[in-house]
Amino acid sequence: MKIIVIGAGIIGALTAYHLAEAGAEVTVIEAGQPANAASGASFGWINASFYLNEDHFRLRCAALEAHRRIQYDLGTTATVWSGCLCWEKEGAAFEAQRASLQRLGYAVRVVNRSEFARLEPAVVPPERALLFEDEGAVDLVRLATDALDAAAACGARLISGIEALDIQEVSGRVVGIETPLGMIPADHVVVAAGVATQALVRSVGVPLPMLHRPALILRSEPIEPVLAHVLVSPGQELRQMPDGRLLVPTVANHQSDDSAQVSSRPDRLADRAMSRVSALLDRPLSWHEATLAARPMPEDGLPVIGAGGPEGIYICTMHSGATLAPLVAELAAAEVMGAALTNAQSALLAPYRPQRFTA
């Protein structure tokens, strides 16, 4: 079975790995370089404490388990289970967030000021915070690279720097993709092309409305280890990477940011964000690198996962791929290879099929 995966971000890379491991003849087509778009500019927070509805919460919880499986399978060092300290909400909203997560069975507890100071001594402590012990962070570039290397060991091939222009079909069945250098044949095409997904599936008559959601992520110069958790404060998300650099979104409430455009000059946004981080850590800090990328965001904010359009096409696009990619890749590869999902797996994916935009 010849399968083309369009996109070598985290979803495409992991899907290619699972397909190749299952015995498919896999070719990955990437317009740029692997993990150089949204995956390369991701904050990388793995969580289920941020969710849009209860179905979405269950999907994200299952994805946390899938992260542990892929970490073991690949032997990757990309993922760190640091936990998260969150005091984004205050007062009644804080209590409502805690109660909602406890009702859903999520691992959450309140830490007071003194315990927070013990857990994160370099941070100006709030009066209280929520501790999500099962959450973590992932270097998506590292994980995508490890997945592509493992896929290559199973015979997968990567073509980078070549854009997929459209999907080719004959009599309602996919036959390959068109590129600037000619058509590449395939029995199946998995579209994991991030923000390019909308135009690609439109070429075969599949409506997939998407929003424009740019994000600017900062990296500082490496500093000594000062943070042990992902931090979510009222004005800033923050984490420290293994190489010592601080990773900083430029907007508060990054997970739920619905801005359609970057609001100011990137250097000014970066300066403001680092000023907030400096106050949080009570020390002067500066940013070294700012990266802008567009997050793949379907119109309703929820993932799109499943077959759609002519026979042989499978679509995977979503935010946040950092959390969901390992689970989505497992299930997408299984469906493309013709395996039957369990009832529980089918229920997880049911709300996210592309047909909801044509109903």
Nearest-angstrom CA–CA distance, 319 and 145: 20
Beta strands in the chain (DSSP E): 2-6, 25-30, 45-46, 79-80, 84-86, 109-112, 128-132, 136-138, 157-160, 166-170, 173-179, 182-185, 188-191, 210-220, 230-232, 237-240, 246-249, 287-298, 304-307, 313-317
SS3 161: coil
pLDDT over 70, % of the chain: 97
Residue 215 banded pLDDT, cuts 50, 70, 90: confident
Task: Please give the pLDDT value at position 29.
Answer: 98
Question: Is 80 exceeded by the pLDDT of residue 307?
Answer: yes
Superfamily of domain 2-56+140-209+300-357: FAD/NAD(P)-binding domain (3.50.50.60)
Between CA 47 and CA 55, with CA 53 as vertex, the angle to 5 degrees is 80
Average pLDDT for residues 5-26, to the nearest whole number? 98
59-62: list long-range contacts, CB under 8 Å, 24+ apart: 59/303, 59/324, 59/327, 59/348, 59/352, 60/323, 60/324, 61/106, 62/327, 62/348
Domain boundaries, the chain: 2-56+140-209+300-357, 81-135+211-295
Return the C-alpha torsion angle 60, 61, 62, 68, nearest 10: 100
Task: Please give the pLDDT value at position 294.
Answer: 87
Nearest-angstrom CA–CA distance, 206 and 151: 29
Task: Please give the pLDDT value at position 177.
Answer: 98
Question: Is 90 exceeded by the pLDDT of residue 259?
Answer: no
Task: Please give the pLDDT value at position 85.
Answer: 98
pTM attached to this predicted model:
0.96
pLDDT per residue over 74-103, tens digit each?
999 999 999 999 999 999 999 999 999 999
SS3 206: coil
SS3 152: helix
pLDDT per residue over 156-205, tens digit each?
999 999 999 999 999 999 999 999 999 999 999 999 999 999 999 999 99
Burial of 332 (C-beta count, 10 Å sphere; 0-12/13-18/19+): buried
Average pLDDT for residues 267-291, to the nearest whole number? 95
Answer positive or negative: Cα dihedral of 122, 77, 334, 161: positive
Q: What tokens were used for 238?
A: 């923050």
Three-state DSSP string of 58-93: HHHHHHHHHHHHHHHHHCCCCEECCCEEECCCCHHH
In sequence order, the 6+-apart residues with CB closer than 8 A to the CB of 237 are 43, 45, 230, 231, 248, 249, 252, 254, 255
Nearest-angstrom CA–CA distance, 77 and 67: 12
Task: Please give the pLDDT value at position 191.
Answer: 98
Question: Is 90 exceeded by the pLDDT of residue 262?
Answer: no
Nearest-angstrom CA–CA distance, 223 and 246: 8
Q: What tokens were used for 154?
A: 């199973």
Q: Which residue has 């499986």 as its token pair?
A: 69
Task: Please give the pLDDT value at position 54.
Answer: 97
Residue type, 6: I
Task: Please give the pLDDT value at position 257.
Answer: 60
Report whether 229 contacts 83 (CB < 8 A).
yes
Q: Which fold has domain 81-135+211-295?
A: D-Amino Acid Oxidase; Chain A, domain 2 (3.30.9)
Compute the mean pLDDT over every residue in the chain, rounded to the nearest whole number.
95
Q: Phi/psi at 128 (nearest 5 deg)?
A: -160, 160
Q: What tokens were used for 257?
A: 């940011």
Nearest-angstrom CA–CA distance, 238 and 249: 7
pLDDT per residue over 217-256, tens digit each?
999 999 999 999 999 999 899 999 999 999 999 976 555 5
141-145, 322-326, 355-359: range with lowest mean pLDDT: 355-359
